[in-house]
Amino acid sequence: MVSLLRNHFIPGCEVPGRSGLSHTRLLSTPTGHRAVTVTIGRTGVTVSTAAPRNQLPALKTTIRRWLDLETDLEKVARAFISDALLGPLVKHRPGLRAVGYPEPFEAAVMTVLGQQVSVAAAGTFGGRLAAAYGTPGEAGLTIFPTPAVLASAPPEDLRSAIGVTRTRGATVQHVARAFCDGLVLSGDHADVRTALLAIPGIGPWSADYLAVRVLGDRDAFTPGDLVLRRAMGNPSISEAETLSERWRPYRAYALFHLWIEATSARRVS
């Protein structure tokens, strides 16, 4: 959890704590964005915020969904413990959760910016986008740009501000227009996936990734993910999909275990 938050932060919008165990960002509430700091410890997650008391229930709900704090991980462990690939990983990291994303539009744009580039590069692009089109928020943080602002931006100005290709910049604006037209990343997952795939520049990997990180589908899977397939022994996309059938209904947790194992192995090597 700490590693994911630290590695995927958007400069200007989020601040990883110096200790490495805390993370500060803005979260939306019915009355505006509020700065929240979550601190992850061995006994749980603590939260600090200056938000008014009447906003705390909404923030609590968002944070618990974001950090996947409602899941009974013992059920996940029992489902995987006898699996030749996942059993050892669950024993090594029994508390691994399928961390989500607290802001759906932000997640969709960052997923586009993360296509075929490193996590660090995606963060750099996101920071540039926020600096150019975001607005000031609490605690010196920037509120991520709204769909309306990005949809109406001159295409070449937006592309130049982010530093991406024209195609990638166009996809960001296609996503923004879809949200302006009523796209909501909630509800029936099959319908949402269909709507996402209808957006120019959004392919199966992006749609599957958003199902895991935003829709909270605990059986979603990204068979096209290169890091995942490396951890699975480099099967094809169709083979990865077939192999994942044995991990239902917790394929998202299998995904996180394999992701973290692959990235940990890469750091060690």
Is residue 63 a contact partner of residue 47, using CB atoms and an 8 Å limit?
yes
User: Is the pTM higher than 0.85?
Assistant: yes
Active-site annotation, residues = 225
Residue with tokens 């990235």: 263
pLDDT reported for residue 147: 98
Q: CATH number for the 2-70+103-213 domain, one of 3.40.50.970, 1.10.340.30, 3.40.50.300, 3.20.20.80?
A: 1.10.340.30
Q: How far apart are CA 164 and CA 110, in angstroms?
A: 13
Reported as a pLDDT band with limits 50, 70 and 90, residue 266 is: low
Closest alpha carbon to 76 in 225, 219, 263, 206: 219
**What's the mean per-residue pLDDT of the chain?**
94
Residue 262 has pLDDT above 70, yes or no: yes
Q: How far apart are CA 79 and CA 242, in angstroms?
A: 17
Structure tokens at 29: 């509430």
Q: How far apart are CA 54 and CA 109, in angstroms?
A: 30
Q: How long, in residues, is the chain?
A: 269
Average pLDDT over residues 73-94: 96
pLDDT reported for residue 269: 41
Q: How far apart are CA 33 and CA 131, in angstroms?
A: 17
Average pLDDT over residues 42-63: 94
What is the 3 state secondary structure string of the chain? CHHHHHHCCCECCEEECCCCCEEEEEEEECCEEEEEEEEEECCEEEEEECCCHHHHHHHHHHHHHHCCCCCCHHHHHHHHCCCCCCHHHHHHCCCCCCCCCCCHHHHHHHHHHCCCCCHHHHHHHHHHHHHHHCEECHHHCEECCCHHHHHHCCHHHHHHHHCCCHHHHHHHHHHHHHHHCCCCCCCCHHHHHHHHHCCCCCCHHHHHHHHHHCCCCCCCCCCCCHHHHHHCCCCCHHHHHHHHHHHCCCHHHHHHHHHHHHHHHHHHC
pLDDT in tens, 116-164: 899 999 999 999 999 999 999 999 999 999 999 999 999 999 999 999 9
Q: What percentage of the chain reaches a pLDDT higher than 90?
A: 90
Closest alpha carbon to 140 in 31, 33, 5: 33
Average pLDDT over residues 240-266: 91
pLDDT in tens, 169-202: 999 999 999 999 999 999 999 999 999 999 999 9
pLDDT reported for residue 52: 94
Average pLDDT over residues 107-119: 95
